[in-house]
Amino acid sequence: MPVRNLDQDPISELEREMIADRITKMTRRGMVMGAAGIGALAATLGVGRGNTAASALASVGLLPEDLPAKNFRAATVEVLGASTWVSHGIETAAFYGSLLGIDVQSFDGEGAAENQLAQLEAIANEDWDFVAVHPASSDALIDGADAIIAKGVPFIVMDTRLIQDEAAFSEYGHLTYIEPDNIYMGSTVAVELFKAIGGEGQVIHTQGALGHTGAQGRAAGFNQAVANYPGIEVVDETPANWLQEEASTLWQDLLQRYPDVKGGYFHSDDMALAAQAVVESAGLQDQVKLVGVDGLKNACQAILDDKLTASVINPSGRIHGGAIWAGYLTVSQTDNSDAPVPKFIRADGGPITKSNAAGYIWLHDNYQY
């Protein structure tokens, strides 16, 4: 098969040819077992190295005719397509879909739970092989989810609990819930901020949407860190709801109210970067240190450019890729694990305990971790 020569790509031409050859020889069962699994392939390609799923596929020389036919349909209902974290996840889902023969369609809730509910209810009236959702708010989407699950369609929850009550959610009818360790992420990056400002001074805590269990976990992690730094004074905790415009407007006001502020902690890098532009415009970039959560390319570059102090990885690709992988292995009946898909899978971060060990085993068995 033809293989493109990308001089900037770190893998060799021989490696590229070997990977491409193995892809073209995979049967559907072989696709699960071969090339150390699609997870390993994705790591080799660097999912997200290009700007789109198509460019990621092209980076290994795959042409449309090399990919399997689309034998399955999957829907992802996303919280906010304008978010860098979400857009990266959408591209990752499309990438895995291309490799696995899945027509993946993503729906943008535009930050509104009512939009997501309407999308789930519409999906319940159509034919889909599996569905994944990243809820805008817990407890707001249950009717739509119930309708999909009632049809026997595998239902996967990403990043945020569908049901606020953790015990009740553990008994719900979803296939699996893939979540990062938000408390760990929040605490880790907050400590980096506090160290950067010398352990004392005024700090602003800009939250995501308060109904989002990820935001709740990041707030809890932040508060854990604050408890260990008595010199830190938290002067504001107004949410900006993941929106860059809200974060920008909020910080224009906050810099006027708190001219001596030394740091800002944000539940997402997008909000942190929006505030950074405000801080820089005010000429306070040397005074005010900023940190966020997600750790995607935009944040990494901002850190290299001394615009952000730190971030922490929130694995959008692993969460979205894991959702597609879990759905595919279920509907194709090709799961390598002896056990069923766990109801909960921890995506990176934090220690392995009884509460998440099964998820790590399943990820291992299917070449995802």
Q: Are 189 and 306 in contact (CB under 8 A)?
A: no
Q: Band of the pLDDT at 135, cuts 50, 70, 90? A: very high
Predicted local confidence at residue 354, as pLDDT: 78
Distance of CA 80 to CAs 111, 126, 199, 270, 344, Å?
5, 23, 34, 12, 23
User: H-type helices in the chain, by residue range?
Assistant: 13-25, 28-33, 37-45, 53-58, 84-100, 113-124, 142-150, 166-170, 182-196, 213-227, 244-257, 269-281, 297-304, 316-331, 357-365
Provide mean pLDDT across the span 334-360. Answer: 80
Predicted local confidence at residue 348, as pLDDT: 77
Q: From its phi and psi, is residue 199 left (phi > 0), alpha (psi between -120 and 50) or beta?
A: left
CA 75/CA 126 separation, integer angstroms: 11
Provide mean pLDDT across the span 25-49. Answer: 41
Examine the pLDDT at 99 and tell me if it is beyond 80: yes
Helix (H) or strand (E) run with residue 265 in it: strand 263-266
Provide mean pLDDT across the span 32-53. Answer: 44
Provide mean pLDDT across the span 173-202. Answer: 96
Structure tokens at 57: 């596929």
Strand 130-133 and strand 176-179: the pairing is unpaired
DSSP secondary structure code for residue 346 in this structure: E
User: CB-hemisphere CA count at 13 Å for 337?
Assistant: 19
Provide mean pLDDT across the span 88-106. Answer: 93
Query: For the ranges 14-18, 94-98, 159-163, 316-320, which has the lowest average pLDDT?
Result: 14-18
Domains defined for the chain, CATH in brackets = 13-180+315-365 (3.40.50.2300), 182-304 (3.40.50.2300)
Q: Band of the pLDDT at 27, cuts 50, 70, 90? A: very low
Task: Give the residue with greater pLDDT, 59 vs 335.
Answer: 335
Structure tokens at 169: 């959610």
Mind listing the pLDDT tens digit for each residue in 241-252? 999 999 999 999
pTM across the whole model: 0.82
Structure tokens at 93: 């889902």
Q: Band of the pLDDT at 273, cuts 50, 70, 90? A: very high
Distance of CA 90 to CAs 82, 85, 235, Å?
11, 9, 36
Predicted local confidence at residue 34, as pLDDT: 35
Mind listing the pLDDT tens digit for each residue in 286-345? 999 999 999 888 898 999 999 999 999 888 989 999 999 999 999 999 998 989 999 999
Predicted local confidence at residue 111, as pLDDT: 95
Structure tokens at 115: 């939009």
Q: Band of the pLDDT at 15, cuts 50, 70, 90? A: very low
Dihedrals φ, ψ of 29, to 5°?
A: -70, -40
Query: For the ranges 26-40, 113-127, 234-248, 348-362, which has the lowest average pLDDT?
Result: 26-40
Structure tokens at 325: 């992988």
Examine the pLDDT at 226 and tell me if it is beyond 80: yes
**358 CA to centre of own chain:** 20
Structure tokens at 228: 């260990």
**224 CA to centre of own chain:** 23
Examine the pLDDT at 45 and tell me if it is beyond 50: no
Output b/e per residue, 151-176; b: 16+ Cβ within 10 A: eebbbbbbbbbbbeeeeebeebebbb
